[in-house]
Amino acid sequence: MNISLTSMYVRKCEIDFLKFMNVSCLPNYTITPINITQEEADSKGYATPANVKYDFDTNTHHMSIWTIFPTLSADYIMFHEFTHMIDTERFCKSDKIKYIANKGYTEYHASQVALMKMLGAETIESSLSFTMEQTVETYSGGKSVTELISTPLNTISEIINRDDFPADIGTISTVIGLAFNYYGYRSICQMFADNYAGSENTSALNQLLGDSTVKLLDKLMYGWFDDSKVAVIDNLCKNLIFSMLKKYKFM
């Protein structure tokens, strides 16, 4: 895929996202195309076709994206990453501690947005009706909503049961993000699915966070959040991350 075509694709997704979210613009961001084939990505273990990081020194968001991304039918991933951008600007710009604390909420919110997109909502304010058996298209193929909501839990299980867990600070950040991805998907199912039963296996989540934290998150992580609710979750997430860093002697 031509690099310029990849950039054009990103810009198209940006326009669609702005309309979807009813926002006027995105913050400044750069695009770094990664010229890789699907076979190379699979063999080298690259799992994320697009990823956004915020640079505090330049006050700019940087998006890395596979040049094959436009062939993957995965606009929802772009919506996920764009959501991280607007959350950073709104809640934690230029504040590294707030940026860490906001990890939970922004992963929750981005997964809400992504699933709404996958389900065919016209805007983030749309009211939907779907079943858990409905198929949504992901870059790795079609999945039922039931399968999708369990994906973060399955990945958490795989990671925390590795002999070297946690290999580094990034691994802790990853599993925390996956936990809140699950809650983001779950919230959409709770709000709009006709037959959501809450029957997914959360044993890995309990193993990672502890029973009491999971019970608290089960109560808190529902619906769309206002600024005061975000502040509550940020404080909880900050304490959770720092306690895990201390537990595994990273600080």
DSSP string, 102-153: THHHHHHHHHHHHHHHHTT-SSTT----B-TT-EEEETTEEEEHHHHHHHHH
* Token pair of 73 as six digits: 């039918």
Q: What's the mean per-residue pLDDT of the chain?
A: 93
Name which of 97, 103, 249, 247 is nearest 179 in CA terms: 103
Residue 35 clears pLDDT 70, i.e. is over it: yes
List own/partner pairs for 164-170 with CB under 8 A and 24 or more apart. 166/244, 166/248, 169/245, 169/250
Dihedral pair phi/psi, residue 54, rounded to 5°:
-100, 130
* Token pair of 15 as six digits: 């326009």
Torsion from C-alpha of 127, 153, 220, 171, nearest 10 degrees: -120
Residue 113 clears pLDDT 80, i.e. is over it: yes
Name which of 27, 76, 60, 48 is nearest 155 in CA terms: 48
The predicted model gives 46-52 an average pLDDT of: 80
Residue 46 clears pLDDT 70, i.e. is over it: no
- The 10s digit of each residue's pLDDT in 210-239 is 999 999 999 999 999 999 999 999 999 999
Domains and CATH numbers, the chain: 1-94 (3.30.2010), 96-251 (no CATH)
Higher-pLDDT residue of 181 and 93 is 181
Residue 36 clears pLDDT 80, i.e. is over it: no
Other residues' Cβ atoms within 10 Å of the Cβ of residue 219? 8
- Whether 72 and 49 have beta carbons less than 8 Å apart is answered as yes
Amino acid at 247: K
Burial of 140 (0-12, 13-18, 19+ CB in 10 A): exposed
Q: Which residue has the tokens 């709770």?
A: 190
Name which of 128, 153, 154, 131 is nearest 144 in CA terms: 131
Q: Which residue has the tokens 């997430």?
A: 237
pLDDT of residue 33: 87
pLDDT of residue 49: 86
Burial of 222 (0-12, 13-18, 19+ CB in 10 A): middle
